[in-house]
Structure 1
Amino acid sequence: MTPQYTLWQMVAYMLRLGTLGFGGPVALVGYMQRDLVEERGWISAADYKEGLALAQLAPGPLAAQLGIYLGYVHYRILGATLAGLAFVLPSFVMVVALGWAYVRFGGISWMQAVFYGVGAAVTGIIAMSAKKLTVKTLGRDKLLWAVYLTLAAVTIATESEVAWLLIAGGVLVWLLRAPPGWARRGTLGAVSIAELPLAASLAGSADPSLLAQIGVFFAKAGTFVFGSGLAIVPFLYGGVVTEHHWLNEKQFVDAVAVAMITPGPVVITVGFIGYLIAGFGGATVAALATFIPCYLFTILPAPYFKRYGKLPGVVAFVDGITAAAVGAITGSVVVLAKRSITDLPSVLLAAVTVALLWRYKKLQEPVIIAAAAAVGLILYPLTHA
């Protein structure tokens, strides 16, 4: 079937969406359905649904992967590459500019005041996102709840995301719900799961140059982000703050806030973090290392997804790993709250954020962020005199 649009029209659309697309991953995929399927008719409903299913299945930020897949539908590898770059590039430029301003003017009180307000609001936003994801993902499924609660507890206790447990959650649900033949015979399964922690520890044992370390760490981050871009938050915290000590806790909360106030994928916070660690080179390496895995996880299985995407084993693995990722997000709310909610005004800011998002379902997050920044400008000088 001949496409009803040119490749450059698709690239221009993704560039515009990456520049103006506020609201987080759910809003972004909704814009794509409205604009590309319903209004313009560029993408069929069937192709859109397959792309969304693949984006939910594979590791990587949901909206970015869907954009890559939609570029692939009619223009294959070139379309996927250009659509993905167009979607991510605007927000990358923005976070690098904010990173420069943060480093250059970070000691100025107005910037500290802005992040004082925004940090509390971001905690409230992530809390509501975790609630929505929990309700949507788990239902009344006791097995998924067990995986979810385990990951939430581990994330709170360790103040980091234990990456191999995400995979273990998927494997556990797969083996219990749709076991392959070898698992029914009781072979290999226990060995494979037991070796996951060892493999994870070996993968993190190298000590190359700083940029190489950044590349390796953020490649692992890109590999273990399932569904919402917020899933990367606990993983990044564990590596950037706890393990490598590249940033302090305040800088990390500020980095999450920067991702919230910019359009495009939330996971682009890696560009800001990379800039704080090692300047523009660090930002570039962090962004490329994070997005290349999700790009590959989209284009490589795309030709085969129609055939295998609905197999019971694949569905069960996705259910398990999604429950684990949502549990880690929920745990990260507690971890971040301990850092960003430090006094009564910040408690009230977070509570008001939750109340507004609960009451007004269509309220855009950037509006809350802007209001929180204004409140921070007023309150910070009064509370930190």
Structure 2
Amino acid sequence: MHTRPTQGDVIPLGEATKAWASIALQTFGGPAGQIAVMQHKLVDEKRWIGQQRFLHALNFCMLLPGPEAQQLSIYTGWLLNGTRGGLVAGSLFVLPGVLAMLALSAVYVRFGETDVLAALFDGIAPAVIAIVVQAVQRVGKRALRHRALVGIAVAAFVALTLFAVPFPLVVLAAGLIGWLLGRRIPGLADATAHGSTDGPPPLISDDALHHALPTKRRSLGVLALGLVLWFAPVAAFGVLVDSTPVFRDQGLFFSGAAVVTFGGAYAVLSFVAHQAVYVYGWLAPGEMVRGLALAETTPGPLIMVVQFVAFVGAYRQPGSFDPWVAAVLASLLVTWVTFVPCFLWVLLGAPYVERLRSNRVLGNALTGITAAVVGVIANLAVFFSLHNLFDDQHTFERGPFRLDLPVLTSWDPVAFAITAVALVGMFRLGWGTLRTIGICAALGLLVYGAQLLF
């Protein structure tokens, strides 16, 4: 039995907009911190949504490709104010980060080669290594609940690190293996608890929240409009700009990345780093970790690092454009194709959320993908460590076997020391992301100052 859809706002849209603006300015610390901010604001403080409904929305967003925290904002905005609410919540969630990353990318391009900024990045890069290692530990603790899942994670790491298997193939294989294992291992995809359902009762009942009937007409309309909005800018650049392929390449590449970004930003960054450095030449090997460091310091999803990749890449391959104009256009284009799909997934799938949540086949496949994500993030940690702890690397190849190795004599003692500080701080002393980055940046500047004096 279906309930008649709610058409009006559950709460005034202006009041909701103020709440989303407040949340957007506090979304530091990765998805866990961002989800905690929404939990506090919407469930505990405003009491607009009940704890159980909030977790239900979170579980749905965990099934989707892309940044789950932003998708959760779209979904909860949709529950409170319909489509308008979803658009407002999702847009405000990323706007501060987009503006901050645009400014930081420009500063990097303009001053990135100065000694002071180089020293700053020399301190920040080791902090990022520690952050990624912690991500491996946290995701692994949640995802690897069975020996078979540990095996998938190890296989994904080996496939990426030793055989250079393309990232999308790893994701597809992990999904297939998860589906097969789910048929033999009952309960493989059982959801883990994301938190307690205790707390103050909501002021708005679940029945009063916005919902829509899952009709074919609505779904086709949302899908058609979403695809047009997603690809129209890419097509326009492809048709109108022939002096450089950078806009077309970035638009298509990051559109594809948006489809395979299961497990959060860390899961796809190894793939993005490899393609941006070795295939398209948008970045130098050590620059990806610098972009990630900048993204770690801004509010919003960590996947915002793709904006840095686009900015730097287009600045260096501007064609007939002024480099700064090309950089800004590419940055905005990549931001568009990265986040528009999030709106499409949520607004298209929200009416079917209960049906998706009860689908065991899909749950088993995504359990396999989640396990592979641990291996993917571990591969990212190796990539960053190799290019930031050692000045030189070489590649060993034999048949299908391909392994990047450090030149041991090129090890950087300062980088090793700051990495050790970051690891101890995060794992033993409980430092947060921003504190770790700040302390390591200060150490980088301190080493630079000492070198000037002595």
Instruction: Give the TM-score of the pair, scaled to structure 2.
Output: 0.74
2:257 corresponds to which residue?
221
More displaced 10-residue stretch of structure 1: 305-314 or 104-113? 305-314
When residues 368 and 239 of structure 1 are mapped into structure 2, their CA distance, relative to the original with a 3 A threshold, is same
2:273 corresponds to which residue?
237
1:44 corresponds to which residue?
50
Structure 1 or 2: larger helix share? Answer: 1
Count of matched residue pairs: 357
Deviation at 1:161, TM superposition (A): 5.5
Whole-angstrom CA distance in 1 between matches of 2:384 and 2:114: 23
2:440 corresponds to which residue?
372
**Alignment partner of 1:174 is 2:179:** yes
Whole-angstrom CA distance in 2 between matches of 1:273 and 1:19: 23
Asked if the contact 1:121–1:349 (Cα under 8 Å) also holds between the matched residues in 2, the reply is: yes
Matched to 2:298, the amino acid is T
Asked if the contact 2:11–2:81 (Cα under 8 Å) also holds between the matched residues in 1, the reply is: no
**Alignment partner of 1:145 is 2:214:** no
Residues 103-145 of structure 1 deviation map (CA, whole Å, 9 limit, x = unaligned): 1111211111111100011011110111111111102x12211
Matched to 2:139, the amino acid is L
Whole-angstrom CA distance in 2 between matches of 1:74 and 1:123: 39
Find 2:340's aligned residue among 292, 295, 302: 292
SS of the residue 1:20 aligns to: coil
Matched to 1:153, the amino acid is V
**Percent of aligned positions that are identical:** 28
Matched to 1:143, the amino acid is A
Matched to 1:29, the amino acid is I
SS of the residue 2:113 aligns to: coil
When residues 243 and 381 of structure 1 are mapped into structure 2, their CA distance, relative to the original with a 3 A threshold, is farther
SS of the residue 1:249 aligns to: coil
Whole-angstrom CA distance in 2 between matches of 1:259 and 1:160: 27
Asked if the contact 2:267–2:373 (Cα under 8 Å) also holds between the matched residues in 1, the reply is: yes
Whole-angstrom CA distance in 2 between matches of 1:130 and 1:238: 19
Matched to 1:289, the amino acid is V
Residues 297-320 of structure 1 deviation map (CA, whole Å, 9 limit, x = unaligned): 222111001123122112101101
**Alignment partner of 1:249 is 2:285:** yes
Matched to 1:285, the amino acid is L
1:53 corresponds to which residue?
59
Instruction: Give the TM-score of the pair, scaled to structure 1.
Output: 0.87
1:84 corresponds to which residue?
90
**Alignment partner of 1:113 is 2:113:** no
Deviation at 1:159, TM superposition (A): 6.3
Find 2:328's aligned residue among 268, 276, 280: 280
Whole-angstrom CA distance in 1 between matches of 2:138 and 2:61: 18
Find 1:320's aligned residue among 368, 375, 382: 368
When residues 219 and 210 of structure 1 are mapped into structure 2, their CA distance, relative to the original with a 3 A threshold, is same
Residues 144-174 of structure 1 deviation map (CA, whole Å, 9 limit, x = unaligned): 1121111112222356862121122012211
SS of the residue 2:98 aligns to: helix
1:71 corresponds to which residue?
77
Deviation at 1:222, TM superposition (A): 1.3
2:421 corresponds to which residue?
352
1:16 corresponds to which residue?
22
Asked if the contact 1:170–1:321 (Cα under 8 Å) also holds between the matched residues in 2, the reply is: yes
When residues 298 and 164 of structure 1 are mapped into structure 2, their CA distance, relative to the original with a 3 A threshold, is farther
2:235 corresponds to which residue?
none
Deviation at 1:382, TM superposition (A): 5.0
Residues 324-374 of structure 1 deviation map (CA, whole Å, 9 limit, x = unaligned): 12210111101110112231221121122122211244x321111111111
Find 2:136's aligned residue among 109, 130, 133: 130
RMSD: 2.2
1:339 corresponds to which residue?
387
Matched to 1:49, the amino acid is L
Structure 1: any 5+ residue segments left out of the alignment?
180-205
Deviation at 1:76, TM superposition (A): 2.3
Whole-angstrom CA distance in 1 between matches of 2:139 and 2:348: 27
Whole-angstrom CA distance in 2 between matches of 1:269 and 1:240: 12
SS of the residue 1:264 aligns to: coil
Whole-angstrom CA distance in 2 between matches of 1:69 and 1:286: 22
Whole-angstrom CA distance in 2 between matches of 1:135 and 1:336: 22
